[in-house]
Amino acid sequence: MKKTRIVATIGPASDNKEVLAELIKNGVNVCRINFSHGTHESNGKVFEIVKELRGELKRPIGILADLQGPRIRVGNTEAFTIEKGEIIFVSDKKTTEEKELVIDSPGLVKEFKEGDRILIEDGIKALKIVEKVSAELVKAEVLNGGEIKPRKGVNVPDTQVGFGAVTEKDAKDLEFAIKNEANFVALSFVSNAKEIENTRENMKKILGREENLPQIVSKIERKEAINNLDEIIEASDVIMVARGDLGIELEESKVVLYQKQIIKKCLKLAKPVIVATQMMDSMIENPIPTRAEVSDVSNAVIDHTDAVMLSGESANGKYPAKTVAMMNKIVTDTEESPFDDIDVCFFNQDLMTDYISIINGACSLARNSKASAIILFTESGYTARMMSNHRLEKLLIVATNNPMVYNQLSIVWGARAYLLKEEENEKFVDLILEKCKNENKLKVGDQVVVIKGRKDKNKLPTIGMTQVK
């Protein structure tokens, strides 16, 4: 079985129970619900289907609620054409009788400065600010012309937008997602750590508790996010390399370099990371991927990402189940090769604690002994994430009594999760060994490293070894 996780966006091509069940059987671990589309009613149905399938398929399936974020769009009500070299006005509301680009984000125009770029429709059309007329009006030179259509997306990579990662719509969607038991919440267009911390505080207020919250997935897709990358990773639970907008905001030729840099930093801080956007894009229309797409997925696995993600391929493509099966095979074949093997621990030494030192010791014990597997109990998921970060080839079996954590383990590389009842905690080793033996994951005589983590990170975990009987 593969260790790298697959995240699949659920949409019109996959939002019925039959297709969604097939996706999960083919390798999907996390279902992404994109709140840029659909309604609370339609998205709520996906939540319910996933919850039903968890019980029927008896496996952890994460639900990722992806908030739209402060998406900037063309505010003009009618299409118009611009030509290269032309000078036009730009405002956040129609102010002149002349040709004018309207941007639908109030207050953004006053942040523009000379030299800032405005990219429209994934950068196909581009302008550069040449004169600040007033706080509400600027002049811009057209760099790439064409037809400007209403509601098309706008990127402003050189401008500090300053209106936060969570809009009024997002706040409503966040509350809806949390009350429907989302395991992960993705923030779009994150700029700094404060936005993440504010969202976490909002979640605490909505749920009325300090712990057992949905994990925050910060999407790295803006120039500001790259500038503040270290603090964003530190404040986040999970990172997503959102290569679509990242490739618009920054040089396309450097996107893969940023991907590798982000994954390396996440490994050092033991934070799960997802590589996303256009991984199997041609399979929206075609039954097989391009060779470049196969290489893209394989290289993300070799980089040691925790997960790879499908967007339009699984949401509205012609072959959602076949796409997942193909991605699963690419991942599995790559993991079986020697190219994704690593021999060193990626922990940043600044993070070292007594707790992590014991986890590292358990890792060394598993690597240097004849152990077939590592079995651990975790209440928060922390111990599992620390062990997963070593990317051992051994079987990693994780037991928990927390349903939220159980489904959040769906994003953790290599973790095979089991949900126990509260009264089963103390005898989890015997229970899990018996289950694994019955499922042919382990056999009589296999040696196993056992770790019991603690909810309180100040209390040290215990490690030992046992044998399957």
User: Annotated active-site positions, please?
Assistant: 32, 73, 219, 277
DSSP code string of 196-262: HHHHHHHHHHHHT-SSSPPEEEEEE-SHHHHHTHHHHHHH-SEEEEEHHHHHHHS-GGGHHHHHHHH
Q: What is the DSSP letter of 351?
A: G
β-pairing, 184-187 vs 72-73, is unpaired
Both structure tokens of 56: 């029927």
Of the candidates 220, 190, 104, 108, the residue with the CA atom closest to the CA atom of residue 152? 104
Residue 316 three-state SS: coil
Taking each helix axis from N to C end, the angle separating 168-179 and 193-207, rounded to the nearest 10 degrees, works out to 50
Which tokens belong to 70? 């402060």
Amino acid letter, 397? I
Say how far apart CA 305 and CA 254 lie, in whole Å. Answer: 18
CA dihedral 184, 185, 187, 193 (to 10 degrees): -70
Phi-psi region of 195 (alpha: psi -120 to 50; beta: other; left: phi over 0): alpha
CB 116 within 8 A of CB 81: no
The C-alpha angle with vertex 383 and arms to 381 and 388, in degrees rounded to 5, equals: 95
Nearest 5°: CA angle at 49, between 45 and 54? 150
Residue with the two structure tokens 């992404």: 32
Instruction: Tell me whether strands 153-155 and 146-148 are parallel, antiparallel or unpaired.
Output: unpaired
Q: Are 62 and 410 in contact (CB under 8 A)?
A: yes
Q: Concatenated DSSP letters for 25-84?
A: HTT--EEEEETTSS-HHHHHHHHHHHHHHHHHHTS--EEEEE---S-EEB--SS-EEE-T
Residues pairing with 128 in the sheet: 117, 141
